[in-house]
Structure 1
Amino acid sequence: MSKTIGFIGLGTMGSPMAVNLAKAGHTVHGWNRSDGRSGPLLAAGGRAAASIREAVREADVVITMLPDSPQVEEVSYGPDGILAHARRGALVIDMSTIAPRTSTELARKAAEQGIRVLDAPVAGGEAGAIDGVLSIMVGGEAADFEEAKPVFEALGRTIVHCGPHGIGQTVKAANQLILAVNIQACAEAVVFLEKSGVKLEAALDVLGGGLAGSHVLTRKKNNFLRRDYTPSFTMGLHSKDMGIVSDTARAIGAVLPLASIAAQLIGSAVARGDADLDHSALLRGVELLSGYDAQ
């Protein structure tokens, strides 16, 4: 069941994902747009490719893990891109978080070259990528999803075929909407509790054990307590994702009041210079609005 995989994008998420694929017995040829990112993959038994062509020309599966739609389009199209050099019948799996319309257009153009596509964005952050426990939401043909399962199983624990092309990205956008609103609610609760004189750690413990508990509260509790905003997922990337939510909602006629507010608050944090901080740094904005300096 091992595959030859061309892996495009060895960043914060892509590098540990490529490593896990190599450890699972797949032959992985990794390429990154900037140099110096192939070390972990090489240590895991993978190979570094000098170009996209070299990474994909013999691949059964090509995986892209990139920041946004423009980067996916850049590596996919043109004379040096994936579609120009992947073999006919290959399966391209885009695991980036991008606009659903970009995914559907990629699938359409790839089909003209006899190349199949799945959109398969992930949730779980850097820790989930390292541990191989990502949630993977997949759009595309059911038969292609079944073929890709051994690849997905090296990367994640919750793996669901959600529907046709673009639907994986739509589900990921919903994930980011819920996450943004949840983090903002937790941040507001932190300031509410502190200004009331409550012992914060004890309060968050008891809240976490009841209906108010959530993965966000569990995973971000120490960020809030310590004001530690070392990024597991940056504010800048979450701002990009909320743009996808807003654009898609407008296109389909969905009115999302809380999503709009959350997008504005995240955008405000980015404008203040917090783009490279963890998205739990939404707490800084609540602190500023509440009359004291953010920590």
Structure 2
Amino acid sequence: MESLLTDCLIILQATRNMSEKPMSILKAPAVIGFVGLGRMGLPMVRNLLNSGFTVRGFDQSEIARAEIAAAGAVACNSAVEVATGADAVITMLPNGVIVREVVIGRDGISSVLPPEAIVIDMSSSAPTDTTHLSEQLAARGIRLVDAPVSGGRTRAVDGTLTIMAGGEPAVVSTVLPVLEAMSTTIFRTGKIGSGHAMKAINNYVSGAGMVAAMEGVILGEAFGLDPEVIVDVLNVSTGRNNTTEVKMKQFVLNRDFGSGFALGLMAKDIGIARQLAQALNLPMGSLAETSARWEAAQEKLGSDADHTEMYRFLSES
């Protein structure tokens, strides 16, 4: 028993030392690993390079790797190669399951990251999964920040994404210059997992507002109103929202459907919000119904359809 207590005290002291040890701010030209070079990842890498950071990147797409190499980054052949020698590693991947595999799966990046290294998950992951991943990384001396983004590809290109950062305050402060290279608006949301929770909540509210705005236009047009007039009235009245302001005329009424954000990603994020409510024993009927609508649209139109194509689903239902 005495030996067990001694071991526990040693572990607690090591944890305390790790949390109290001052951390150096990651400033350029620090080496940043980047895993996931899709529509969002590529412009984010370019902004890191423009801010003076050294970037090592990996994606399964050879084209994406070639693009970052042309931009001045080091194109790597694996996530482990990316993490080797990196001061921090950013993951920008489709979901938390893939993030977990890349970070702590077989040949995961945690196998080569040194103690005090930082992983920044900028994907849209489930908050509870993020909390669990953080605990597993902490046991190896590695820190985790969850920092999902909002704003779409356009704002990823011009470096004006909104970032919701969760994690230990000192760790978030350490990576702040990295985040600032990609964002003009950074919110410290609280404990680890809170950034992912906030992202899911945001997309639920956005997705619900989109359905309401689109159904409103469909309803008005069926009565005989001009859809353009409906949107104009909504935008100077209490019914305006992100969809009425930056999506209806730009991508929907003209049937362009080219906002650049996939319907499947929206369905996934709203599903994460629904799962969070269930985990917290919160009976939220509107959230459950909104999630079901987006899942049905995904099933009919496909995951890769633009999320503004929800209008087609609602019009044909």
TM over 0.5: yes
1:79 CA displacement: 4.3
Root mean square deviation, CA, Å = 1.4
Higher deviation after alignment, 197-206 or 103-112:
197-206
Residue 81 of structure 1 aligns with which residue? 108
Map 1:226-245 onto structure 2 (within 5 A).
226-245=254-273
Residue 9 of structure 2 aligns with which residue? none
Q: Give the secondary structure class of the aligned counterpart of 2:253.
A: helix
Counterpart pick for 1:271 among 296, 299, 302: 299
1:43 CA displacement: 2.7
Distance 2:183 2:283 in 1: 32
Matched residue type, 1:51: S
Counterpart pick for 2:241 among 182, 189, 214: 214
Task: Tell me whether 1:43 sits opposite 2:43 in the alignment.
Answer: no
Identical aligned pairs, as a percentage? 37
Residue 64 of structure 1 aligns with which residue? 91
1:42 CA displacement: 2.0
Distance 1:274 1:209 in 2: 34
Measured against aligned partners, the alpha-carbon deviations of 1:146-192 in whole angstroms (never above 9, x if no partner) come to: 11111111111210111111111111110111011011011101101
Map 1:1-295 onto structure 2 (within 5 A).
1-2=27-28, 3-221=30-248, 222-289=250-317
Runs of 5+ unmatched residues, structure 1: 290-295
Q: Give the secondary structure class of the aligned counterpart of 1:145.
A: helix
Residue 293 of structure 1 aligns with which residue? none
Q: Is the 8 A contact 1:194 1:200 kept in 2?
A: yes
TM norm structure 1? 0.94
Q: Is the 8 A contact 1:265 1:282 kept in 2?
A: no
TM norm structure 2? 0.88
Matched residue type, 1:262: T
Measured against aligned partners, the alpha-carbon deviations of 1:232-258 in whole angstroms (never above 9, x if no partner) come to: 211111111122111111010122222
Distance 1:276 1:189 in 2: 25
Distance 2:45 2:130 in 1: 21
Distance 1:230 1:132 in 2: 20
Moved beyond 6 Å, runs of 4+: none
Aligned residues: 289
Higher deviation after alignment, 179-188 or 226-235:
226-235
Distance 1:21 1:39 in 2: 17
